[in-house]
């Protein structure tokens, strides 16, 4: 395959029929034709080799030639396809960059126009709101003036009415106060006289009753004292008699019990002493027997020992 010399760029028409750019369709066509020629030459060589050599050598030669041809063809096809893909990818990238620039410009313009419209609408709406607020301020001023005037009138009327009410109440209170003071003076005098008379009667009655109660209490207290003295004397005599009897009985009972206990202890001690003497005698006999046995055993051991 013949290529153009170095430095030659792509053109619409080739200057020489034998020259083609590696990224053009003519280069691919030349590569395919060269592949066909190589395959035909390989087949012809295989046939000639089959006529000269054996079957085994022919098969090996065919496989080797086919592998070499395929490797060469795959290298050519791979280079051409890689060049084509690189060219296509560059074209697609350029197209995408151009389209994105156009889209970006259009979107920016559309957004700018929309924002301008929205901004104008917002300015118009804010102007309307400010106008409404101005009207409300004017109305509030009018209402405030009217309310101030009305409040002044109401205040004047209330002051006049309150003065009249205060005057009427003062006159009525003066009349009522005089009448009430007169009536209360008369009633308080009568009540005071009645209370003084009643208090005197009550005092006399209480003094008489207290004197009677004092006499009765003195008489009763004397009787109670005499009764308590008599009762205490009787109780003391009874306790002395009872304690003397109890003391004699308890003393006799304790003496009898102590004598019985002493006798019982003496009897028990005698029995225990006898038992101890018997046990000690038995123990002494046993010990003497044991000691005799030990002495005899020692003596026999000494006698049986060889001299």
pLDDT per residue over 246-296, tens digit each? Answer: 888 888 888 899 889 989 998 988 888 888 888 898 898 888 888 888 888
Structure-block tokens of residue 87: 């060219």
What is the structure's pLDDT at 260?
A: 92
Instruction: Give the confidence band of 50 by pLDDT, cuts at 50, 70, 90.
Output: low
What is the structure's pLDDT at 3?
A: 46
pTM beyond cutoff 0.85: no
**262 belongs to a structural domain:** yes
Domain span at 98? 25-110
Q: Which of the listed residues 110, 144, 178 is the one where a domain comes to its end?
A: 110
Q: Which of the listed residues 61, 92, 110 is the one where a domain comes to its end?
A: 110
- Hunting for tokens 């990238």 — which residue is that? 93
Instruction: Give the confidence band of 68 by pLDDT, cuts at 50, 70, 90.
Output: confident
Task: Convert the pLDDT of each residue in 101-141 to its tens digit.
Answer: 888 888 888 888 888 898 888 988 998 888 888 888 888 88
**78 belongs to a structural domain:** yes
Residue 6 has pLDDT above 70, yes or no: no
Residue 21 has pLDDT above 60, yes or no: no
Q: Report the C-alpha gap between 192 and 212 in whole angstroms.
A: 30
Q: Where are the alpha helices (DSSP H) in the chain?
A: 25-52, 55-304
Tell me if 87 sits within 8 A of 80, measured CB to CB: no
**180 belongs to a structural domain:** no
The whole-number average pLDDT for the span 52-67 is 64
**246 belongs to a structural domain:** yes
Domain count, the chain: 2
Residue 51 has pLDDT above 70, yes or no: no
**286 belongs to a structural domain:** yes
Q: Which of the listed residues 110, 142, 170 is the one where a domain comes to its end?
A: 110
**293 belongs to a structural domain:** yes
**133 belongs to a structural domain:** no
What are the two backbone dihedrals, phi and then psi, of residue 136, each rounded to the nearest 5 degrees? -65, -35
Instruction: Give the confidence band of 15 by pLDDT, cuts at 50, 70, 90.
Output: very low
**106 belongs to a structural domain:** yes
Residue 208 has pLDDT above 60, yes or no: yes
């Amino acid at each position: 395959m013949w290529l153009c010399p170095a430095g030659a760029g792509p053109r619409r028409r080739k200057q020489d029929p034998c020259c083609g750019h590696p990224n053009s369709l003519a280069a691919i066509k030349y590569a395919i034709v060269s592949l066909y020629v190589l395959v035909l030459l390989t087949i012809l060589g295989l046939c000639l080799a089959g006529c000269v050599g054996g079957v085994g050598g022919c098969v090996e030669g065919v496989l080797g030639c086919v592998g070499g041809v395929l490797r060469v063809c795959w290298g050519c096809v791979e280079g051409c396809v890689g060049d084509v893909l690189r060219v296509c990818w560059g074209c697609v990238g350029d197209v995408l960059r151009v389209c994105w620039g156009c889209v970006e410009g259009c979107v920016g313009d559309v957004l700018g126009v929309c924002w301008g419209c929205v901004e104008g609408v917002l300015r118009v709406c804010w102007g309307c709101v400010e106008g409404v607020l101005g009207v409300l301020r004017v109305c509030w001023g009018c209402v405030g003036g009217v309310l101030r005037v009305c409040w002044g009138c109401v205040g004047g009327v209330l002051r006049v009415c309150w003065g009249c009410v205060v005057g009427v109440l003062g006159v009525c209170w003066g009349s009522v106060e005089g009448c009430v003071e007169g009536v209360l003076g008369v009633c308080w005098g009568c009540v005071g006289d009645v209370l003084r008379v009643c208090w005197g009667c009550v005092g006399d009655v209480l003094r008489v009753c207290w004197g009677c109660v004092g006499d009765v209490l003195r008489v009763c207290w004397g009787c109670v004292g005499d009764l308590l003295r008599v009762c205490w004397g009787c109780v003391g005599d009874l306790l002395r008699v009872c304690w003397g009897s109890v003391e004699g009985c308890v003393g006799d009972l304790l003496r009898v019990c102590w004598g019985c206990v002493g006798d019982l202890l003496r009897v028990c001690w005698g029995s225990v002493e006898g038992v101890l003497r018997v046990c000690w005698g038995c123990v002494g006999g046993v010990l003497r027997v044991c000691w005799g046995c030990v002495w005899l055993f020692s003596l026999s051991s000494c006698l049986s020992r060889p001299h």
